[in-house]
Amino acid sequence: MDRDRFARLPAVIASLILLPVLLEIVAWYIEGEEYDVSRAVTVVVVIVSLALLATVIGRIRARLPVLMVAALTVTAAGEGVLGLVAAFGPVLGRSGVPGELHGLITTGVSAFAFVTGVYLLIQYRRGLYLPYLEAGMGPPPSATKRKVIGESEILIRTLPGIGPSVEKSLGSCVAMLDQDDLHFVAYYADGRCCFYTDVLDDADLAHFFHDTDQEERREVYLKAGHQLDWLTGRLNRQFRRIEGGILIRTVLDVERGALYFYWIDETRYLIGVTLDQRKVDIADDKMARLVDMIRGHFTLPPINQRERPPNPAEQGGRLRSISRSEPWPESGS
């Protein structure tokens, strides 16, 4: 779902400003009065410039906070040089900066600094890097198919053109899904979600959804995957000092279920979700086994060294249908 608030900004600027100008030109033509054509051309040029600026902002919004800080720094340095010339130019030589020019430049720099400060304060309140993360996500997987096992339906969405190793990884994720514990798995590579699969549409999980529907949950999970990857990268920089290696597992154990981040290699990772608080540990173990399976598809050795009793019955998913007469525990509802 595209919620880009910048996408229609150029059209909004053009419609709100250009339309009155066109109406004014029509009125001038009908009434036969004199009209300043140069003023109209100036207004049109300004409108086109604003529309182009809005388009550029829409494209670079991912790094807009950083760019604004960099621009403010360069502008402040230029203002400092201009202030020195204005202050000491008449003393050191006969040249100087006119007071009007210095006043206009100072006013412009102050206005830009004020706008930048307000913008950054708003972004810090919302979470400074969230716009960057959401803008850098790229298009989510859209090729959709459904696989039915028993009476359970599995949703699969992929990007086009995934390779054979990723196809094997997808098969492993589908096999590990279970309406009883592991409900959602997403695979990321090179900063993009290549596929995700889930059983969120299963009728037996309907009691986990009240104020949000399944598609809204999927969107939140995909965004959380990018945010956890960014956060993990920052934490790894700090952990280098204690020689503990990189983070390979992060568990957000919330009140109703849990969200898992599992590192595969330098460019790949998994996101998993369970909706049932009682099954947090079981889903966590499944994610650990799943990561080692996927690493095997890329000829990488296992990375999770947990000691657990062997249980061949839990090597795959345990999708099953639940009769309507059987009571379902309301954990996590």
Cα 222 to Cα 199: distance, rounded to the nearest angstrom: 15
Cα 230 to Cα 223: distance, rounded to the nearest angstrom: 11
Q: Output the pLDDT for position 94.
A: 58
* Amino acid, single-letter form, for residue 326: E
Structure tokens at 158: 């992929």
Residue 61: DSSP 8-state: G
- CATH architecture of structural domain 143-314: 2-Layer Sandwich (3.30)
Q: Output the pLDDT for position 241.
A: 80
Helix 164-176 and helix 280-297: axis angle, to 10°? Answer: 160
User: Any alpha helices (H) in the chain, and if so which ranges?
Assistant: 9-13, 19-31, 37-60, 64-92, 99-126, 130-135, 164-176, 214-239, 280-297
Helix 64-92 and helix 37-60: axis angle, to 10°? Answer: 120
Count Cα atoms within 13 angstroms, Cβ side, for 46.
9
Contacts of 263 (CB under 8 A, 6+ apart): 232, 246, 247, 248, 249, 269, 291, 303
Structure tokens at 78: 């230029």
Structure tokens at 142: 């859209």
Cβ-count burial of 157 within 10 angstroms (0-12 exposed, 13-18 middle, 19+ buried)?
A: buried
How do the pLDDT tens digits run along the chain, 333 residues long?
A: 344 455 555 556 556 556 666 666 676 666 666 656 666 677 667 666 766 666 666 665 556 666 666 776 777 777 677 666 666 655 555 555 566 565 666 776 677 777 777 776 676 665 555 555 555 567 888 888 888 876 678 999 999 888 888 999 999 999 999 888 999 999 999 888 999 999 999 888 989 998 889 999 999 999 899 889 888 888 888 888 887 788 899 999 998 899 999 999 999 999 999 999 999 999 999 999 999 999 999 999 988 766 655 554 555 554 445 455 555 444 443
Contacts of 267 (CB under 8 A, 6+ apart): 189, 190
Where do the structural domains in the chain lie, given as residue ranges? 9-135, 143-314
Q: For the chain, how far is it from start to end, CA to CA, in angstroms?
A: 26
Q: Output the pLDDT for position 328.
A: 47
Angle at 261 between CA 122 and CA 145, to 5 degrees: 100
Closest residue by Cα to residue 320 from 214, 199, 157, 213: 199
Contact status, residue 198 vs residue 177, Cβ threshold 8 Å: yes
* Amino acid, single-letter form, for residue 15: S
Structure tokens at 219: 């969107």
CA distances to 157, 275, 324, 330 from 209, rounded to whole Å, are 21, 10, 18, 11
Contact status, residue 229 vs residue 188, Cβ threshold 8 Å: yes
